[in-house]
Amino acid sequence: MKRVLILCTGNSCRSQMAEALWQRLAPGDWEAASAGAKPAGYVHPLAVRAMAEIDLDISGNRSKHVDQFKDAAFDLVVTVCDGAKDSCPALAGAKQTCHWPLDDPADATGSEEERFAVFRRVRGEIQDQINEYLSGQEVPRKPPK
């Protein structure tokens, strides 16, 4: 089984959603984990809600520090924000690395429903990017808006 580690700064939104989506999209082929350079200490409630909407429960997840995985071997390490790309240590056990810069939905403003719409959009972008990678059709990501 292949292993992927998804990194973002706080490990509260994007990487948590990516971990769950990767597990769903490649069951039995990949083991997914996520971590952050500066863990937030919680999983964002709107990330939990966005994933519950597609029948994925991340309510029991916790944010983890990347150091927890410093000695682990991974086939792939994916950074999903520029902060993680710049601040996470190089992981000696990574066979391949990718950078997928995605907007941080936690930075969204407006009403709860407007902010939730951003979580939904980012969730969809993560799912698309994982599908592209798994199908061998990975394309370069556009810079975040």
The CA distance from 29 to 13, in Å, is: 24
Q: What is the pLDDT of residue 139?
A: 47
| Residue 145: exposure state from Cβ atoms within 10 A (0-12, 13-18, ≥19) | exposed
Whether residue 49 contacts residue 100, with contact meaning beta carbons closer than 8 Å, is answered with no
13 as an active site residue: the answer is no
Whether residue 111 contacts residue 39, with contact meaning beta carbons closer than 8 Å, is answered with no
Catalytic residue among 50, 81, 102, 130: 81
Q: What is the pLDDT of residue 92?
A: 61
What is the reported pTM? 0.89
* Fold adopted by 2-134: Rossmann fold (3.40.50)
8 as an active site residue: the answer is yes
Q: What is the pLDDT of residue 138?
A: 53
The CA distance from 100 to 64, in Å, is: 20
Catalytic residue among 47, 88, 91, 94: 88
88 as an active site residue: the answer is yes
Mean pLDDT to the nearest integer, 106-117: 97
The CA distance from 140 to 72, in Å, is: 27
pLDDT in tens, 54-111: 999 999 999 999 999 988 899 999 999 866 555 555 566 778 888 899 999 999 999 9
pLDDT in tens, 8-51: 989 999 999 999 999 999 999 999 999 998 999 999 999 999 99
Contacting residues for 52 by C-beta, under 8 A, at least 6 apart = 59
